[in-house]
Chain A
Amino acid sequence: EAQVTQNPRYLITVTGKKLTVTCSQNMNHEYMSWYRQDPGLGLRQIYYSMNVEVTDKGDVPEGYKVSRKEKRNFPLILESPSPNQTSLYFCASSLNPGLHSYNEQFFGPGTRLTVL
């Protein structure tokens, strides 16, 4: 089954304790992206990756890191989480938007993060 998976689905942590949220897709997609969803703000892009070893900032990158060492994986790293990073996080993937006329993005199930 074609899908985007995220782990963990739920996480409660404390300020300053480094954490990683994993994302993996099995559709051989070049493009991957992380979003955070906050009430009344919709989804906002954190980071994206056009392909392996190619990453760039989205609209709200502060406090986050990413890496793209393999095509299928795109982990989101919070090196020193703070309470304002409490949110619902979604990973998404699509074919290369530069080669296809539209980039239907497929979303993972979400990770609900609480930082105390």
Chain B
Amino acid sequence: AQSVTQLGSHVSVSEGALVLLRCNYSSSVPPYLFWYVQYPNQGLQLLLKYTSAATLVKGINGFEAEFKKSETSFHLTKPSAHMSDAAEYFCAVSEKDAGGTSYGKLTFGQGTILTVHP
């Protein structure tokens, strides 16, 4: 069974500093990978997704993530944090078969709460 691990339930950075949120997955076949963001009292919004094209994926709000098969990782980064980035971030995977067909289900990591200090 696939699993997703997000290292660090809380990450705190200063405004303007680099944001790095870590995500590792375990799956027999490299899955489709997603990062979602959840602002307080809101639903989940897709930040970016990896679908077997370019390994460096750019998303909304200046975020990007790099798929590294050898490390089974999909870490999320942003060069310069803004106060508005404060939220909870979820890494998720969608397992697929060898032919690339998704099984549909999303498996989520535990979430990382990002705090941005002025």
Contact = CB atoms under 8 A, between A and B. Distances in A.
B103 A97 contact: yes
Given A35-B108, A43-B108, A109-B43, 12 more contacts: A33-B105, A40-B111, A42-B4, A97-B101, A97-B103, A98-B104, A101-B52, A102-B94, A103-B94, A103-B104, A107-B45, A110-B42
Contacts of A75: none
Interface centre among B36, B101, B102, B107 (most CB of A within 10 A): B102
Describe B's contact surface by its main secondary structure: strand
Interface residues of B, number: 29
Interface in B45-81: 45-46, 49, 51-52
B31 to A, nearest CB: 10
Interface stretch (A44-52, A64-72, A76-84): A44-52
Interface of A: 4, 31, 33, 35, 40-45, 48, 50, 58, 90, 92, 94, 97-98, 100-105, 107-110
